[in-house]
Structure 1
Amino acid sequence: MITPVPPSYADSARGRMSRLNITTQLAVIIPVGTLLVVLDSQVWWEALVLTLGLLTSILAVVLWARDDIQRFALPLLGTSTAVWTFGALVSGSTTAFYSITVVGPLIVPQLRRHRIPAAVGVVLFVAAAGASRLLVSQGSATSTAFHFVLVPTAVMVVTLGFMFANDAFYRVLEELDEAREHEAELAVARERIRFASELHDIQGHTLHVVKLKTALAEKLVRRDAGRAEEELREIHALVGDTIRQTKELAYAQRRLNLAGELENAKNLFEAAGIRVRIVRTAPTGERAGELLGQVLRETTTNILRHAQAGQVRITLSESGITIVNDGASGDDPPELRGLSTLRDRLAGFGGELTATQADGEFTTAAVVPSEVTR
């Protein structure tokens, strides 16, 4: 049986991913940011402002890795935009955009809606704040536009593109994880249906046979006490065997034996006064025997319960079984739920089960693919 991954495992994986994200990103952001602060600061208060931007970037990375950045989006964006505005209008720092190009791409791709307009807005802000330097700068307009407009805008666009791709990658991973969880849930559901079906096969078959043998023993108790006692012993053995099979099913150890099912079907039909003819054209493999044994058991139960048969023919080949009884009534075959379940089970192995009715005969035929017979 397949079971979903326990939540503690999933939480542990997310925790490891979070630590990996923090480590890899901070390993780049801290050294680069520190180097920019050292190289671009002329006075202590300028270094203080750039350091504030660096600390804001570090905090944003930590919160993003913990999937908690949206709660603090406004203060993070406010601080980083203030640092860039200060750098463009006051200090003339060409690297003050560093903080906004870290914080913005971490926040925008995680917005639930309007992500593209938000991305465009952030890019335009970076360009506009940088362009404002042209109003106060005494230097070359071309150099100012390059360092304060072109470079920061290009860095923001590239970083946003990378983070959008990164976000899409993580969304695909989440969808795959959800798909695996759904697949595990479906596997559990299929396993429960299979278990219920096999339990029905065991208990339903046994209870019907017990009913027949009990009725027979009741008729014989006054006429032939010895035969009645033998029937009761068989009932006792049958119930014990059913208990054993139920335990094996519960522990996934149950295996049907086709030869045993054939002998059991023959004895049951003869006890019910039905003539039986068995033809084997080739030996049947173990795995195919299990599947065909299930078909034989279910069909035997259906014949005893629903048909007024006088004769049953069972034909076995290497990859199939055909069971024909002459007790069909009406023109259309009855809807037999057990056979429908077996049809689905065989289809799962690539096999096929058919049930047809014609000229007073009901035919059940099952075929398994060649790879199952090996």
Structure 2
Amino acid sequence: MKHKIADLDWANLGFGYIKTPWRFIAHWKDGAWNEGELTGDNRVHISEASTALHYGQQCFEGMKAYRTKSGEIQLFRPDMNAKRMMASCDRLLMPHFPEEQFIEACKKVVAANAEFVPPYGTGASLYLRPLMFGVGDQIGVKSAPEFIFTVFCTPVGAYFKGGMSPVNFMVSEDYDRAAPFGTGAAKVGGNYAASLLPHELAKDKGYADCIYLDPATHTKIEEVGAANFFAITKNNEFVTPYSPSILPSITKYSLLHLAKEYLGMDAIERDCPINGLDEFAEAGACGTAAVITPIGAIDYKGERHVFHSETEVGPVTKKLYDTMVGIQYGDIEGPAGWVVKVPLDEE
């Protein structure tokens, strides 16, 4: 099936916003969602008293669409994004956007913007940003009278140009990502706003980002910047932190499954003490944007803990990355239900 592909410089595409022709928008009012529609307007018109602007009543998701070698387009585990958004909505007193409608909205946006799904082999993809926020004339500190759910998309380039290479991180000892029993497990904007300053301070010191410890005791690794942490132990186990303050990364849970079912490893969610870095042979950060960012070293209290190498990706990390990306682009058969095809009209 052949479809027109936009004339963009795919090799030099970065991770930035490019306006695409269509996005989906739906409104919640009087206790129900309307049907929603595709619109060409990339500006959102809301009341100045909207709770999203004053009290941070909003949440979002990040996901991608991929073009396969045969020219088909597919989404990766969109049901998990829908479920995670519903969990975020529960935390912020927002209405659910039903899973089936969420997936259908994403399919519509991808199909309407199919020419902006990058060609197979470029390493690029179409990034989707579903989001929901409280709107309406509401000045008091309570849930909004109305809500907007929308999905827009933008083509993004390969995260690693020239191949993966490890980067170094420092441990943040002065800032927490989230409070104990706070909104750390929800994908809400406030968590990311709070990370901007410590991220900038880490970058100023020459690091890729900072590692956050658990907010209660500051003894255990929780997240790596805006991504989840994982490591490969010297006993060849895949381990990743478990905490109620960690965002439940779809990439992380996919890697847990792949490590166990495809690589035959023990795959465990457990505490990862910051004083126990010596048990790890490899380490990485994982999330939608990069899939995996290899960690070469972590600096903590004046000491550098080097994992496999500061210049080369560890073998298990590389195998996990190749397997995951292979499934996303249709080169490797993934577990049942992980890939959702986007139907396209014949030209």
Higher-Rg member (1/2) = 1
TM range (shorter): under 0.3
Higher strand share: 2
The normalised TM-score by structure 2 is 0.18
Greater relative contact order, per chain length (Cα 8 Å cut-off, separation 6+) = 2
Structure showing the higher helix proportion among its residues: 1
